[in-house]
Chain A
């Protein structure tokens, strides 16, 4: 039954876009050269389009035009088996971050990452999912966080941050304009971002809150290919946002969270939202352009920026991080392939939640490392995805590099004009 479940899900999940991708592929192999897993392992099995063979075989056997005719003539692939699915699990979950870089190089413009996602849906139906991901999904459903952050812990973190920056942060504030949701990794490792947001929003006069019922935007369902889990997790944020009557939900510095909330969320819950979703970088850029954020001084280190795939290549937030960086950094330099063609950190798409994939993840980082090394003396790396940040920090340790990794929001907050300066200016203006 296991394989049969996967087959049925594969059949159900293929739409016209997925079919056109599978029909248009000419097996040119170019996608391999865009994949950091292929490049760092030199294994033909890691060619992106090959990773989705179970989906392609099922499509050809059951759903493609002429499938009946071909079946009658014995010209279709054999039905996929449980053994085959088990064999492919490594290709589908451990060696693809769904970063979508292969689409850039594909002459047919095939969105292989979308096909990997559909393939994962079949694997979920078959129950063949790495334990790291199923465990994270269970924690997200039971506790509200894939990393196990409970509401009490959230309250403690927010209270701490509030005291640290000396700004009250009101949780569950009905009627606030903006609802901030955070990524699991931010709450676990980089919670200073809460204080940074408090300082920025205070200066900009933004009315905001955090919900104790839906505080995490990380969506493990999107990563593992489980629509039900994805729907439940997005649904929590939608319910909280509507309960608090906010006008906007701010998607955090997290790649897949943005995909989940902004692009897939309404389709998962089956209706448009009553609020708007804005990415934190878009919002900060907008506040800057409106003159609501005032900075003083600039970071003089030679820094570069790592583009999170889901925010940039698959999310369209490309110029905003650069505009923000330009206001706070004097030494910002771009990597090769910066922007839409960036190289993934190696840990997106659930790979970092999957201990089985650790060796692949660390090897894949070599592609990112080369980009950084090619720039020469880089003194800090800035990024805007907490998962990328964590993955890169781990890999940096593993590779024996010394490079601080900084969140963009925190960097911006570090260069906010101090309140005393603002007060002085106001006095001068009055005088």
Chain B
């Protein structure tokens, strides 16, 4: 089982390194472009505007509920489901404790895992279906959108297959798919998991000075 050893050993370290270095490289690459000092006289402070924008865009704007409900429903379903599975599934906590952080926390019960995983799957499938079915979504989508969705789907699917942890190969398959996902992450739109802070933050800073948070 040398393949399993490679997947769980060197390949994991390679993927984790590419992920960490790649994410930092990309974020620093954006920030180093800088912005000129704004010489206009502010009406309010910039930083509270940034904080407000971070939270404001976490929740949907009431003016658009009706027009965007499918996307909102699918988006929340997927992201909340994935977040819960990622950080509260017992095997993930054990892995993070053993290989990354050195400490763990309480895992969720199995039924909660099942519910969260199903929510994540349903959300992701709905999001992707919308992407291929809606003419507007087809117009603005590119290969990266599909590759990112599919790699995430495969990582989640192999995770479910490996749930019993009874089969070493299935566990290694999940790990391999996650490693591919991690390596792809910094070069893709999956980076929005980090860049959302920058985009919301800049809008919050720019308009916070004007006393408004659009």
Tell me the A residues contacting B by CB distance below 8 Å.
14-17, 19-21, 23-30, 32-34, 38, 44-45, 47, 49-50, 63-66, 70, 100, 103-111, 114, 262-267, 270-273, 276-277, 312-316, 318, 336-337, 340-341
Question: Could you tell me the distance between the alpha carbons of A16 and B198 in the complex, rounded to whole angstroms?
Answer: 9
Are A20 and B210 within 8 A (Cβ)? no
A277 surroundings in chain B (CB, below 8 A): 41
Report chain B residues within 8 Å CB of A23: 26, 30, 191-192, 195, 198-199
Given contacts A26-B192, A340-B214, contact A65 B26 (CB under 8 A): yes
Q: Which of A66, A106, A265 interacts with B57 by CB under 8 Å? A: A106
* Other-chain contact of B204, A47, A109, A314 (Cβ < 8 Å): A109
- In whole angstroms, what is the CA distance A25 to B43 when docked? 29
Residue of A nearest to B50 (CB): A109
Q: Which of under 10, 10 to 19, 20 to 34, or 35 or more describes the interface residues of B?
A: 35 or more
- Interface residues in chain B, defined as those with a beta carbon under 8 Å from any beta carbon in chain A: 25-26, 28-36, 38-41, 43-44, 53, 56-57, 60-61, 63-64, 67-68, 71, 75, 131, 134-142, 145, 186-187, 189, 191-192, 195-196, 198-204, 206-207, 210-212, 214
Measured in the bound complex, the distance between the Cα atoms of B135 and A47 in whole Å is 11
How far, in Å, is A396 (CB) from chain B's closest CB?
Answer: 24
Are A17 and B206 in contact, with the CB atoms below 8 A?
yes
Q: Of B34, B53, B64, B75, which is within 8 A of A105 by CB?
A: B64
Q: Known contacts being A14-B33, A20-B198, is A111 close to B39, with CB within 8 Å?
A: no
Contacts A20-B202, A108-B192; is A267 near B38 (CB within 8 Å)? Answer: yes
Instruction: Determine the chain B residues whose CB is within 8 A of the CB of A16 once the complex forms.
Output: 30-35, 198, 202
Q: Which residues of A contact B36 (CB under 8 A)?
A: 15, 267
- Contact, CB under 8 Å: A27 / B203: no
B137 touches A29 (CB 8 A): yes
Residue of B nearest to A104 (CB): B61
Tell me the smallest distance from the CB of A84 to a CB of chain B, in Å: 16
Give complex CA distance A63, B142 in Å.
19
Is A107 a contact of B57 with CB atoms below 8 Å? yes
Would you give the shortest CB distance from A39 to chain B, in whole angstroms? 8
Residues of A within 8 A of B139 (CB): 44-45, 47, 50
Give the nearest-CB partner of B34 in chain A. A16
Given contacts A14-B33, A28-B71, A314-B214, contact A47 B140 (CB under 8 A): yes
Interface centre among B26, B38, B67, B140 (most CB of A within 10 A): B140
Whether B61 contacts A44 by the Cβ 8 Å rule is: no
Q: How far is the CB of B54 from chain A (nearest CB, A)?
A: 8
Closest beta carbon of chain B to A148's beta carbon, Å: 30
CB distance from A280 to the nearest CB of B (A): 15
**A316 contact from B131, B145, B211, Cβ within 8 A:** B211
Tell whether, in the assembled complex, residue A20 and residue B25 are in contact, meaning their CB atoms are under 8 Å apart: no
Beyond A20-B199, A24-B196, 5 additional contacts (C-beta under 8 Å) are A27-B142, A63-B33, A107-B60, A111-B214, A340-B214
Give Cα A26 to B190, complex, Å: 8
Could you tell me the distance between the alpha carbons of A45 and B136 in the complex, rounded to whole angstroms? 8
- A24 interface neighbour in B135, B137, B141, B195, Cβ under 8 Å: B195
Report the Cα distance A104→B191, complex, angstroms: 21
- Which residue on B lies nearest to A258, using beta carbons? B210
A314 and B64 within 8 A (CB): no
Least Cβ distance of B64 to chain A in Å? 5
Write the nearest CB–CB distance from A340 to chain B, whole angstroms: 6
B161 to chain A, nearest CB (A): 27
A414 to B195, CA, bound (A): 51
For B32, the closest partner residue in chain A by CB is A16
- Closest chain-A Cβ to B128's Cβ sits at a distance in Å of 12
Report which residue of A25, A65, A265, A340 has the largest number of chain B beta carbons within 10 angstroms of its beta carbon: A65
Please give, as numbers and ranges, the residues of chain A lying within 8 Å of B44 by CB-CB distance. 316
Residue pair A28, B75 in contact (C-beta under 8 Å): yes
Provide the bound-state CA to CA distance between A263 and B82, in Å.
41
Docked Cα-Cα span, A338 to B145, in Å, equals: 35
| Contact A30–B53 (Cβ < 8 Å) | no
In the complex, what distance in Å separates the CA atom of A29 from the CA atom of B189? 14
Whether the Cβ atoms of B33 and A19 lie closer than 8 Å is: yes
Return 17 A-B CB contacts under 8 Å, by A number.
A15-B33, A16-B35, A17-B206, A19-B33, A28-B71, A29-B134, A104-B214, A107-B60, A108-B195, A108-B200, A109-B200, A114-B206, A314-B207, A314-B210, A336-B63, A340-B212, A341-B63
For A47, the chain B residues whose CB sits under 8 A away are 136, 139-140
Shortest Cβ gap from B209 to chain A (Å) = 8
B89 CB to closest chain A CB, in angstroms? 24
Complexed CA–CA distance, A214 and B99 (Å): 68
| Chain B min CB distance to A71 (Å) | 13
Nearest residue, chain A, Cβ from B135: A44
Which one of B53, B140, B210 contacts A44 once the chains associate, using CB atoms below 8 Å? B140
Residue in chain B with minimal CB distance to A63:
B33
CA–CA, A106 to B189, complex, Å?
Answer: 16
